[in-house]
Structure formats: C-alpha cells, structure tokens
Chain A
Amino acid sequence: MKRKWYDWRNVYLWLVFLLLYAPIFYLIFYSFNAGTTMTHFTGFSWQHYAELFADTRMIEIVLDTLLIALLSSLLATIIGTLGALAIYGIKKVWLKNSILSLNNILMVSPDVIIGASFLIFFTFLGLRLGFSSVLLSHIAFSIPIVVLMVLPKLSEMNHSLIDAATDLGATNLQVLTRVVFPFITPGILTGFFMAFTYSLDDFAVTFFVTGNGFETLSVEIYARARQGISLEVNALSALMFLFSLLLIGGYYFIEQYNSSKKERRRNRMEAKLIK
C-alpha cells in the first residue's frame, strides 16, 4: 500500500512522532545555550558540558549508577537463568503456573508498592539503607524479566537434544554447559540487557530505599528538577540520549547476530538434509 507523504494518515503519524521527540530535542537543544534558562537561546556554547565534567559529585553519581546497573543485572541474570531452568524442570502444571504468577508479581506491581514494601522489608531486617539496599532491590526487580526472556528459549529447545547428550554419556554438568547454555544464550543476553536498562531507568524504587548517603542518577535528577532549571541537567540528558542510542545499537546488533547465526545454522542443516 503506497501512500503519498502528505496523505492525512501519514501527517497524523508525523505529528505523533513530532510530539514524542520534540521534548527530547528541546532538552538537548538548550544544553548548548550560552545563557542559563531553558526559554531564551542566547548563543551556542559548550559551557554546561564543561560544568558537567568539572562536577566531581555528578561524575561519582554516574559511576555509582553504572556500577549498580552492571552488578545488579549480572546477578539478576545468574539467579534468573537458574530460576528459569528450575521452572523448566517442573512437571506439575499447576505448580509451574503458580510459580510463574509469583514471578510476575514484581513485573505488574506499581513502583511505589515495590519501593514501599522493600523499605519495610529492609528496615525489618535492620539493613542500613544505601548502596547495598539499592543493589538488592535492583537485583530483585530485574530477576522476573530475565526469567521471562530465558524461559521461552528453554521451551523452544528440542528435548531430544538433552536425551541424545545423556545417551552419549554426557554428565549432567556437561549437558548443561555444552547443550543447554549455548542454546539459551540469546535469551540470557536479552535478559541481561533488559535488566541493565531497568536498573538505569528506575527512579521510584530507588527513591524509597536509598536513604541519605547514596544517590543514583535518577534520584539526583529529581532533586535538581525540584529546584528548577539547571542546564547542566540538559547537558547530562544529551549525553544520556547518546548513551541510550549506543545501548539500542548494541542490543540490535546482538539480536541481528543471533538471528543470522540461527539462520546460518538452519541453512547448514537444510544443506545437509538435501545431501
């Protein structure tokens, strides 16, 4: 169905895109403002970027945020993958379904509920709020998405692969590392990636469990935004936009790589069958 670009349906789509992107570019545009407001552009300058890079407190917060994201997504990926293997091994349908429902509770709960209930939980345990409570919360809310990304890969796997490996004398560990893991790696990578972005994006849960001493980027932006406009935040948002573009690029590269690998394997198998 070919349409001219000025077809009113396309005009509508363009308007929606404009609406979605205008605020983001507005933000980035003013990061180059020589003045200090987000309303009058007085001239081009890099000064807010210079301020940002001179702000050691901000850089520390950025590094902390990345550290939390990396550690939490790594641990969540390990626990989530093991969880997916455990769920995959369950034979009773009702048990499997109820565990899956429990798994999804943190996915559908509003952030404030997760934050508030974790705050009660950590206080109940007597854990000091700070780096460790934020890290634990991020691991906790990232696990379900990893499970949901890995589980379909496990179900896709042909069970006779495992039977064949066992018949040929592979130990359980060998079956796991040589047969199962290579097959589900794409799911694990996607899960890791999603966990990473969840952690970077999160504000509400962190805000509840962070206490006084420790801050992540979202919490810092919130604090600054409540005080009003500071173009340093604009400069930061421009850099974060670039970073998200890189992440998305990386993600699509992984996806593309996975699907092309699968494709190649399929072609090879077909070629063998024809022979």
Chain B
Amino acid sequence: MKKYNAFYSVPYVLWLLLFVIAPLLLIVYQSFFNINGQLTLSNYQTYFGSGTYLRMTFNSIWYAFIITLVTLLISYPTAYWLSQTRHKQLWLLLIILPTWINLLLKAYAFIGIFSQAGAANHFLEFIGLGSQQLLFTKTSFIFVAAYIEIPFMILPIFNAIDELNPSLINASRDLGATNWQTFSKVVFPLTLNGVKAGVQAVFIPSLSLFMLTRLIGGNKVITLGTAIEEHFLVTQNWGMGSTIGVVLIVAMVVIMFATGERRKKGGHRE
C-alpha cells in the first residue's frame, strides 16, 4: 500500500495547506495592515491602547462565561437524571433533535416569543409581573444563547456519567457517604472531563455568536464575533477585524489548554 499512500494523500494535504494553514497565516498577516493597505502595528496599538476594544473583549468573555454557567447549571442535572431513566438513549435523541433545526430559525422563533405581544409577555402578565421589553435586551441574548447551547453541554456530560461505573457509587454509599457526599466527592470529580468538554463546546462559540447579538441582542451586546463581522462586512476594515480575530484565536487556544480535551463538534451529534 506504500506506493498508493503518496497518491491519495495529495488532495488531503492540499486541503491542509490551502484551507487550514494558509487562511490562518493570512489572518495574522492581514492584522498588520491598516485600512489603507500599509504595513503597521497600528491595529494592535488601537486594540490595546483604546479602552473600547479591551472593554468589548472583556464584556464578550463575561457574556460567554455567564452563558456557559447558565447552560452548565441547567445541563448537569438534566444529564444526571437522564442517565437514570429507562429509555435513556431515546431521551438523549430527543435532546439532540433540536440541534438539527437551523440556528437562525430558533433565533427567529424567539423574535416572535419575546415580542411586545408575544407569548413570554402573556406569561408575565398572567403571573402578574406585567408586560416588559424583552427583545433586544442583554437578558434575552443570554437566554437564547443558552437555549441554543444546552444540548451541546448535555451530550458530553451525559456520556461521562453514562461511562461511570455504578459500583463506585454503591461503594461510596456502603461506606456511609451521604447523597451529597457521593455526588461531590465521587460522581462530579469523575465526570469532570465531560463538563470540561461541554464548557469548551459552549464557551468558544459563545464568543462569536454575532447573529444572535444582531437579531436578539439588538446591538446592545457586542461580542468578539460581532466586532469581527462589523469590521469585515460593514466598515471593510479587514486589518482591524483580523486583529480581533487573532485575539479570538488566542482566547480559543487558552480555553482549549485550560479545558484539556480537544474535541468539539465531533462530540456534538452522536
């Protein structure tokens, strides 16, 4: 098979060079050019010098953190109790099913639900809180982002819990641990890898959800992704956009090292 190896690696290697390595190098290269096409460091100076960009980056990371936290708090119990049900594979399939619906359609649904006369406001009136401005607020952005990410958090955690050896739990109970001790000392530490994979799968996309900031956040929230989209497609300042892109890549690498495992979409829909 040796002889053929060189032959069938050609298209793949070409892909690696042209679509993985070249674009990454180009985005770094582009970040050193200003809007007039001159080679400078001014983009980085602007980025680190003016408070606006740093504040935007901090805000974006903060929002991603809140979204990840909300998603984790909802997903962990779901995954845990899901793994105890009888038809767990079927239930899991039902959890994954919404991820097959186009993200934009889900965002669009919330434009209707959160609108002035929408279902969410009807509910608020019903419980006596009265109608509120829901759409185009930061809270609605966090809510919709968490809604979209929940299945991607449940799946890795579910897999980790499912792989857990039940005799460890029995052993812990036999040795006199309370339910809470069993959970905090045995179950949670042993499923931490699933949590890490889930955090990775949620945090990185949350930094770049520009369509949600536009459709749901009403430009009140600006994430790194929104800023990149704005610079590339609206103001046409590719250099600055690339600089923010480089920052996003660095953030991504940091998160990947912090959470250890290198898997995202692959674990998404199994």
Contact = CB atoms under 8 A, between A and B. Distances in A.
B102 interface: yes
B95 interface: yes
Contacts of B249: 109, 113
Interface string B19-35: 11111101100100000
Given A20-B95, A39-B112, A110-B207, A200 B23 contact: no
Interface in B190-227: 200, 204-205, 207-208, 210-211, 214-215, 224-225
A20 B74 CA distance: 12
A197 B245 contact: no
A105 to B, nearest CB: 5
Interface stretch (A55-63, A225-233, A257-265, A267-275): A225-233
Contact of B20 (A30, A102, A176, A204): A102
Interface residues of B, number: 86
A118 B23 contact: yes
B138 interface: no
Interface stretch (B3-11, B47-55, B181-189): B3-11
Interface stretch (B36-44, B156-164, B170-178, B261-269): B261-269
Interface of A: 1-3, 9-10, 12-13, 16-17, 19-21, 23-24, 26-27, 30, 37-40, 78-80, 82-83, 85-86, 89, 99, 101-121, 124, 136, 140, 143, 145, 147-148, 162, 172-173, 175-176, 194, 197-198, 200-201, 203-204, 207-208, 217-218, 221-222, 225-226, 228-229, 233, 237, 240-241, 244, 247-248
29 contacts: A1-B84, A2-B86, A10-B85, A17-B95, A20-B95, A20-B98, A20-B147, A24-B98, A38-B118, A39-B118, A86-B9, A86-B12, A99-B16, A104-B262, A104-B266, A109-B252, A111-B208, A113-B27, A113-B252, A116-B228, A116-B232, A117-B245, A118-B23, A207-B211, A218-B103, A221-B102, A221-B105, A222-B215, A226-B215
